[in-house]
Structure formats: structure tokens, C-alpha cells
Amino acid sequence: MTRSGLALSHVGLWVHDLERMEDFYTRVLGFTVTDRGQLPGPSGPVDLVFTSRDPDEHHQIVLARGRPAKLGFNVINQLSLKADSLSTLREMHRRLVAEKVRDLIPVTHGNAISVYGLDPEGTRLELFIDTPWYVLQPLRVALDCSLDDEALMRRVEAHARSLPGFKPRSEWRAEMARRMGVP
């Protein structure tokens, strides 16, 4: 039995050898690469590989090149929790603000709305909801949480529609199901 509100969704891992880790997760564990690309990182571009075993989930494990030889930080890139509604996500955001969580930032990925912040020991957390759309990943654009629900969703949808690869999530899901051999 689980509590309502949040559910574990995906994890990001810093890795030394991205190609080796991608091979292991896809060949040995049966994950499918759903997207790949780069985002700016604190020490330069970070190569990312998004993987999943579930066509309903864009990614369950993200592999990120950049794990140092000597670990001077937490090797977990992020822990992500899926909220059951925008209302829950907004409530969690309010709680994080009240707790003065460090590095708190709401964003859109086009296919999701996320709130990022650090736990007390510095592990990055992501709380999110999916949107009904898909756009090529990776993507991260800051959001204004002061907007009401309707205005926020209109802004997220308009932005998503303007991006390469935009399609309804149902089309993306059907494509991933086919690639994964899932009905």
C-alpha cells in the first residue's frame, strides 16, 4: 500500500564511463534509450542518456557523464518523485519554500513540470507531474509558480508546441511501446 501524493519515478546517476553504463543498462537490464543529449553543467557540458523499461515513463534511469575519480560529493544526480496532480506539486513547492530548501527552482521540460531543490545533505530532489505533450529532451526552462493553474498550463503548452519534436504524449508512448515490444 502506498500513500497518496507522491511516488518514486526515476533516478539520475553520475557515471565515469557513459558508454559502458549505457551498454549495461540496455543490454543487461533491458532498458531502452529514449533520448540523449547535453546540458550545461558546473564544469562544462554534461552528456546525458535517458533510459526506461516502461513506455509510460520517459526515463527511469538517467546516466550523466561526470563522476569524478575521487568522490567529493554525493554520486546520486537526483531522486525524483512523481506527484499525482498539479495541486499536489504546488503544495509540495509551498512546503519546500517554507522549509527554506536550497536551490529551489520550478521548471518545465515540455513533457513535465518539475520543482527541483536540495535535501538537507545536498542530494538533488525533483518533484514533478507529466504534461500531455512530448518534446525532444533534454530541456529545462524556468517557470513562474505565481501563475494560476490555468495560466501556468497555457504557458507550458504554448512553449512545448513551439519546440522541435512536439507531439501528444500518446503518440510518443505508442512509439516507445513499439520500440520496447510492449503492447
> Hey, where are the domains in the chain?
6-177
Residue 1: is its pLDDT beyond 50?
Answer: no
- Give CA–CA dist 64/38, Å, rounded: 9
- Cα separation, 160 vs 112, whole angstroms: 10
Angle of helix 86-98 relative to helix 149-161, nearest 10 degrees?
110
* pLDDT for position 2: 54
pLDDT at 71 over 80: no
Q: List, for residues 36-68, the tens digit of each pLDDT value.
A: 999 998 889 999 999 999 999 999 999 999 888
Give per-residue pLDDT as tens, 80-132: 989 999 999 999 999 899 999 999 999 999 999 999 999 988 889 999 999 99
89: buried, middle or exposed (CB in 10 Å: 19+, 13-18, 0-12)?
buried
Kind and range of the H or E element at 14? strand 6-15
**CATH entry 3.10.180.10 includes domain 6-177:** yes
Cα end-to-end span (Å), the chain: 27
Question: What does each C-alpha distance from 162 to 29, 33, 135, 173 come to in angstroms?
Answer: 35, 24, 9, 20
CA distance 123 to 100: 15
pLDDT in tens, 125-159: 999 999 999 999 999 999 999 999 999 999 999 99
- Amino acid letter at 20? R
- pLDDT in the model for residue 3: 60
Please indicate, yes or no, whether the overall pTM of this predicted structure exceeds 0.75: yes
